[in-house]
Amino acid sequence: MALGDITRIRTNVSALGALNALKANNARNQNAALRLATGKQINSAADDPSGFSLSSTLLQQARAFGNAVDNVSDAGNVLDTAESGLGQINDILGQIADKTLQAASDTQGPNERAAIQNEVNQLGQEIDSIVNTTQFNGTSLLQGATLTFQVGPSGSDTATFALSSSFTSSALGVNGLALGTQALASASLGSVNSALNVVQGALQNIGALSDRLQVKSHDLSQFQLNAAASASRIQDADMATTQLEKSSSDILNQIAMAQLAAANSSPSMLARLF
Protein backbone atom coordinates (compact mmCIF):
# COMPACT_ATOMS: atom_id res chain seq x y z
CA MET A 1 0.00 0.00 0.00
CA ALA A 2 1.32 3.43 -0.93
CA LEU A 3 2.26 5.73 1.93
CA GLY A 4 1.56 9.45 1.82
CA ASP A 5 4.06 12.30 2.04
CA ILE A 6 2.71 15.11 4.21
CA THR A 7 4.75 17.68 2.29
CA ARG A 8 2.89 16.91 -0.93
CA ILE A 9 -0.63 18.23 -0.78
CA ARG A 10 -1.79 18.06 -4.40
CA THR A 11 -2.63 14.38 -3.93
CA ASN A 12 -3.52 13.36 -0.37
CA VAL A 13 -2.33 9.77 -0.57
CA SER A 14 -2.99 9.12 3.11
CA ALA A 15 -6.59 10.23 2.81
CA LEU A 16 -7.09 8.15 -0.34
CA GLY A 17 -5.68 5.09 1.42
CA ALA A 18 -7.98 5.62 4.39
CA LEU A 19 -10.91 6.10 2.00
CA ASN A 20 -10.15 2.87 0.15
CA ALA A 21 -9.88 1.01 3.43
CA LEU A 22 -13.19 2.52 4.54
CA LYS A 23 -14.90 1.44 1.30
CA ALA A 24 -13.55 -2.12 1.52
CA ASN A 25 -14.53 -2.45 5.15
CA ASN A 26 -17.96 -0.98 4.47
CA ALA A 27 -18.48 -3.59 1.74
CA ARG A 28 -17.64 -6.34 4.25
CA ASN A 29 -19.95 -4.71 6.76
CA GLN A 30 -22.86 -4.63 4.29
CA ASN A 31 -22.21 -8.22 3.26
CA ALA A 32 -22.27 -9.33 6.90
CA ALA A 33 -25.47 -7.34 7.48
CA LEU A 34 -27.09 -9.04 4.47
CA ARG A 35 -26.09 -12.47 5.74
CA LEU A 36 -27.55 -11.69 9.14
CA ALA A 37 -30.77 -10.46 7.56
CA THR A 38 -31.21 -13.44 5.24
CA GLY A 39 -29.55 -16.14 7.35
CA LYS A 40 -27.68 -17.21 4.20
CA GLN A 41 -23.94 -17.35 3.64
CA ILE A 42 -24.46 -17.33 -0.13
CA ASN A 43 -26.93 -14.71 -1.32
CA SER A 44 -25.85 -14.60 -4.95
CA ALA A 45 -23.75 -16.67 -7.32
CA ALA A 46 -20.98 -14.07 -7.02
CA ASP A 47 -20.51 -14.89 -3.32
CA ASP A 48 -19.42 -18.46 -4.11
CA PRO A 49 -20.14 -19.73 -7.64
CA SER A 50 -19.38 -23.39 -6.97
CA GLY A 51 -21.10 -23.35 -3.59
CA PHE A 52 -24.15 -21.63 -5.09
CA SER A 53 -24.40 -24.29 -7.80
CA LEU A 54 -23.92 -27.22 -5.42
CA SER A 55 -26.35 -25.91 -2.80
CA SER A 56 -28.98 -25.26 -5.50
CA THR A 57 -28.58 -28.84 -6.74
CA LEU A 58 -28.86 -30.22 -3.22
CA LEU A 59 -31.97 -28.16 -2.48
CA GLN A 60 -33.57 -29.39 -5.70
CA GLN A 61 -32.79 -32.96 -4.66
CA ALA A 62 -34.33 -32.33 -1.25
CA ARG A 63 -37.51 -31.01 -2.90
CA ALA A 64 -37.60 -34.01 -5.23
CA PHE A 65 -37.27 -36.41 -2.32
CA GLY A 66 -40.02 -34.51 -0.49
CA ASN A 67 -42.34 -34.82 -3.48
CA ALA A 68 -41.55 -38.52 -3.68
CA VAL A 69 -42.48 -38.92 -0.01
CA ASP A 70 -45.84 -37.31 -0.79
CA ASN A 71 -46.30 -39.67 -3.73
CA VAL A 72 -45.56 -42.66 -1.52
CA SER A 73 -48.10 -41.43 1.03
CA ASP A 74 -50.72 -41.08 -1.70
CA ALA A 75 -49.88 -44.56 -2.97
CA GLY A 76 -50.32 -45.87 0.55
CA ASN A 77 -53.79 -44.31 0.64
CA VAL A 78 -54.64 -46.10 -2.60
CA LEU A 79 -53.51 -49.41 -1.16
CA ASP A 80 -55.42 -48.78 2.06
CA THR A 81 -58.58 -48.15 0.04
CA ALA A 82 -58.13 -51.31 -2.01
CA GLU A 83 -57.30 -53.34 1.09
CA SER A 84 -60.40 -52.08 2.86
CA GLY A 85 -62.62 -53.12 -0.04
CA LEU A 86 -61.00 -56.54 -0.37
CA GLY A 87 -61.18 -57.04 3.38
CA GLN A 88 -64.92 -56.50 3.29
CA ILE A 89 -65.28 -58.88 0.35
CA ASN A 90 -63.21 -61.45 2.20
CA ASP A 91 -65.53 -61.18 5.21
CA ILE A 92 -68.59 -61.54 2.98
CA LEU A 93 -67.12 -64.61 1.29
CA GLY A 94 -66.57 -66.05 4.74
CA GLN A 95 -70.26 -65.57 5.47
CA ILE A 96 -71.19 -67.14 2.11
CA ALA A 97 -68.95 -70.10 2.93
CA ASP A 98 -70.69 -70.54 6.27
CA LYS A 99 -74.13 -70.38 4.67
CA THR A 100 -73.14 -72.75 1.87
CA LEU A 101 -71.75 -75.23 4.35
CA GLN A 102 -74.96 -74.97 6.33
CA ALA A 103 -77.05 -75.64 3.20
CA ALA A 104 -74.89 -78.66 2.36
CA SER A 105 -76.36 -80.56 5.28
CA ASP A 106 -79.64 -82.42 4.98
CA THR A 107 -80.64 -81.06 8.35
CA GLN A 108 -81.89 -78.12 6.29
CA GLY A 109 -85.26 -78.40 4.61
CA PRO A 110 -86.43 -76.76 1.37
CA ASN A 111 -87.67 -73.64 3.16
CA GLU A 112 -84.41 -73.22 5.06
CA ARG A 113 -82.32 -73.71 1.91
CA ALA A 114 -84.48 -71.16 0.07
CA ALA A 115 -83.85 -68.64 2.84
CA ILE A 116 -80.12 -69.38 2.74
CA GLN A 117 -80.15 -69.05 -1.06
CA ASN A 118 -81.76 -65.64 -0.81
CA GLU A 119 -79.24 -64.48 1.79
CA VAL A 120 -76.29 -65.70 -0.31
CA ASN A 121 -77.70 -63.90 -3.35
CA GLN A 122 -77.96 -60.68 -1.35
CA LEU A 123 -74.38 -61.07 -0.13
CA GLY A 124 -73.23 -61.50 -3.72
CA GLN A 125 -74.92 -58.25 -4.66
CA GLU A 126 -73.16 -56.56 -1.77
CA ILE A 127 -69.82 -57.75 -3.15
CA ASP A 128 -70.66 -56.04 -6.43
CA SER A 129 -71.63 -52.87 -4.56
CA ILE A 130 -68.28 -52.84 -2.73
CA VAL A 131 -66.40 -53.33 -5.99
CA ASN A 132 -68.25 -50.40 -7.58
CA THR A 133 -67.62 -48.04 -4.66
CA THR A 134 -63.99 -48.95 -4.00
CA GLN A 135 -62.43 -46.09 -5.94
CA PHE A 136 -59.63 -43.59 -5.51
CA ASN A 137 -59.85 -40.27 -7.31
CA GLY A 138 -62.36 -41.72 -9.73
CA THR A 139 -60.35 -44.87 -10.50
CA SER A 140 -61.95 -48.21 -9.69
CA LEU A 141 -59.45 -50.35 -7.81
CA LEU A 142 -61.12 -53.78 -7.80
CA GLN A 143 -61.94 -54.21 -11.47
CA GLY A 144 -58.60 -55.14 -12.98
CA ALA A 145 -56.75 -51.94 -12.02
CA THR A 146 -53.07 -51.38 -12.80
CA LEU A 147 -51.55 -48.20 -11.36
CA THR A 148 -47.95 -47.00 -11.47
CA PHE A 149 -46.67 -44.80 -8.65
CA GLN A 150 -43.68 -42.48 -8.94
CA VAL A 151 -41.86 -43.21 -5.69
CA GLY A 152 -38.48 -41.60 -6.30
CA PRO A 153 -36.77 -38.62 -7.96
CA SER A 154 -35.75 -40.58 -11.06
CA GLY A 155 -38.13 -41.66 -13.78
CA SER A 156 -37.26 -45.33 -13.32
CA ASP A 157 -38.03 -45.34 -9.60
CA THR A 158 -41.62 -46.56 -9.70
CA ALA A 159 -43.90 -49.08 -7.99
CA THR A 160 -46.79 -50.85 -9.67
CA PHE A 161 -50.10 -51.76 -8.07
CA ALA A 162 -51.80 -54.39 -10.19
CA LEU A 163 -54.96 -56.37 -9.52
CA SER A 164 -55.22 -58.04 -12.89
CA SER A 165 -58.55 -59.70 -12.16
CA SER A 166 -61.91 -58.27 -11.22
CA PHE A 167 -63.47 -59.03 -7.85
CA THR A 168 -67.12 -58.87 -8.76
CA SER A 169 -69.30 -61.76 -7.65
CA SER A 170 -69.38 -62.98 -11.25
CA ALA A 171 -65.59 -62.88 -11.63
CA LEU A 172 -65.18 -64.67 -8.30
CA GLY A 173 -67.69 -67.30 -9.33
CA VAL A 174 -70.13 -66.79 -6.46
CA ASN A 175 -73.01 -65.04 -8.21
CA GLY A 176 -74.73 -68.20 -9.41
CA LEU A 177 -74.36 -70.54 -6.47
CA ALA A 178 -77.07 -73.19 -6.34
CA LEU A 179 -78.00 -74.29 -2.84
CA GLY A 180 -81.34 -76.00 -3.48
CA THR A 181 -80.08 -79.47 -2.61
CA GLN A 182 -77.38 -81.03 -0.51
CA ALA A 183 -75.38 -82.05 -3.60
CA LEU A 184 -75.60 -78.61 -5.18
CA ALA A 185 -74.59 -76.88 -1.98
CA SER A 186 -71.62 -79.23 -1.51
CA ALA A 187 -70.49 -78.57 -5.06
CA SER A 188 -70.74 -74.82 -4.47
CA LEU A 189 -68.29 -74.99 -1.58
CA GLY A 190 -65.42 -75.42 -4.03
CA SER A 191 -66.33 -72.18 -5.83
CA VAL A 192 -66.54 -70.25 -2.59
CA ASN A 193 -63.19 -71.57 -1.36
CA SER A 194 -61.57 -70.69 -4.69
CA ALA A 195 -62.95 -67.14 -4.41
CA LEU A 196 -61.56 -66.86 -0.88
CA ASN A 197 -58.12 -67.96 -2.10
CA VAL A 198 -58.17 -65.32 -4.87
CA VAL A 199 -59.14 -62.51 -2.49
CA GLN A 200 -56.68 -63.55 0.20
CA GLY A 201 -53.89 -63.76 -2.37
CA ALA A 202 -54.67 -60.20 -3.49
CA LEU A 203 -54.64 -59.04 0.12
CA GLN A 204 -51.22 -60.61 0.61
CA ASN A 205 -49.87 -58.79 -2.44
CA ILE A 206 -51.26 -55.48 -1.20
CA GLY A 207 -49.73 -56.09 2.22
CA ALA A 208 -46.31 -56.81 0.69
CA LEU A 209 -46.44 -53.65 -1.43
CA SER A 210 -47.58 -51.60 1.56
CA ASP A 211 -44.58 -52.84 3.56
CA ARG A 212 -42.29 -51.89 0.69
CA LEU A 213 -43.75 -48.39 0.50
CA GLN A 214 -43.32 -47.88 4.24
CA VAL A 215 -39.63 -48.71 3.92
CA LYS A 216 -39.42 -46.49 0.85
CA SER A 217 -40.99 -43.57 2.68
CA HIS A 218 -38.48 -43.87 5.51
CA ASP A 219 -35.55 -44.02 3.08
CA LEU A 220 -36.78 -41.03 1.08
CA SER A 221 -37.28 -38.98 4.23
CA GLN A 222 -33.71 -39.75 5.28
CA PHE A 223 -32.39 -38.82 1.83
CA GLN A 224 -34.36 -35.57 1.97
CA LEU A 225 -32.89 -34.73 5.38
CA ASN A 226 -29.35 -35.48 4.25
CA ALA A 227 -29.67 -33.34 1.10
CA ALA A 228 -31.20 -30.45 3.05
CA ALA A 229 -28.50 -30.69 5.72
CA SER A 230 -25.73 -30.68 3.10
CA ALA A 231 -27.24 -27.63 1.40
CA SER A 232 -27.55 -25.89 4.75
CA ARG A 233 -23.87 -26.40 5.58
CA ILE A 234 -22.95 -24.74 2.28
CA GLN A 235 -25.55 -22.01 1.99
CA ASP A 236 -26.68 -21.03 5.49
CA ALA A 237 -24.73 -18.45 7.48
CA ASP A 238 -23.06 -19.15 10.81
CA MET A 239 -24.96 -16.47 12.69
CA ALA A 240 -22.55 -16.26 15.62
CA THR A 241 -19.48 -15.85 13.41
CA THR A 242 -21.27 -13.43 11.09
CA GLN A 243 -22.39 -11.28 14.02
CA LEU A 244 -18.79 -11.09 15.24
CA GLU A 245 -17.70 -10.03 11.74
CA LYS A 246 -20.41 -7.37 11.70
CA SER A 247 -19.34 -6.01 15.11
CA SER A 248 -15.70 -5.94 14.02
CA SER A 249 -16.62 -4.13 10.81
CA ASP A 250 -18.61 -1.54 12.74
CA ILE A 251 -15.60 -0.75 14.90
CA LEU A 252 -13.24 -0.65 11.92
CA ASN A 253 -15.63 1.68 10.12
CA GLN A 254 -15.52 4.12 13.02
CA ILE A 255 -11.72 3.96 13.13
CA ALA A 256 -11.44 4.35 9.35
CA MET A 257 -13.69 7.42 9.47
CA ALA A 258 -11.53 8.94 12.19
CA GLN A 259 -8.35 8.21 10.21
CA LEU A 260 -9.86 9.67 7.05
CA ALA A 261 -10.71 12.86 8.93
CA ALA A 262 -7.17 13.00 10.34
CA ALA A 263 -5.61 12.40 6.90
CA ASN A 264 -7.71 15.18 5.41
CA SER A 265 -6.58 17.64 8.07
CA SER A 266 -2.86 16.76 7.95
CA PRO A 267 -1.96 19.02 4.96
CA SER A 268 -3.33 22.03 6.83
CA MET A 269 -0.34 21.76 9.22
CA LEU A 270 1.93 22.87 6.36
CA ALA A 271 0.32 26.34 6.56
CA ARG A 272 2.43 26.96 9.65
CA LEU A 273 5.50 27.05 7.42
CA PHE A 274 4.21 30.20 5.67
SS in 3 state form for 135-182? EECCEECCECCEEEEECCCCCCCEEEEECCCECCHHHHCCCCCCCCCH
Beta bridge partners of 136: 139
CB-based contacts of 48: which residues, under 8 Å, 6+ apart?
A: 41, 42, 234
Residue 78, pLDDT score: 94
Give the torsion sign (CA, 10, 11, 14, 15). positive
Residue 48, pLDDT score: 77
Low-confidence residues in the chain, pLDDT < 70: 1-18, 22, 256, 260-274
pTM of full prediction above 0.95: no
Residue 55, pLDDT score: 86
Residue 260, pLDDT score: 64
Residue 8, pLDDT score: 54
Residue 28, pLDDT score: 77
Residue 263, pLDDT score: 63
CA atoms within a 13 Å half-sphere pointing along the CA-CB vector of 254? 5
Residue 6, pLDDT score: 55
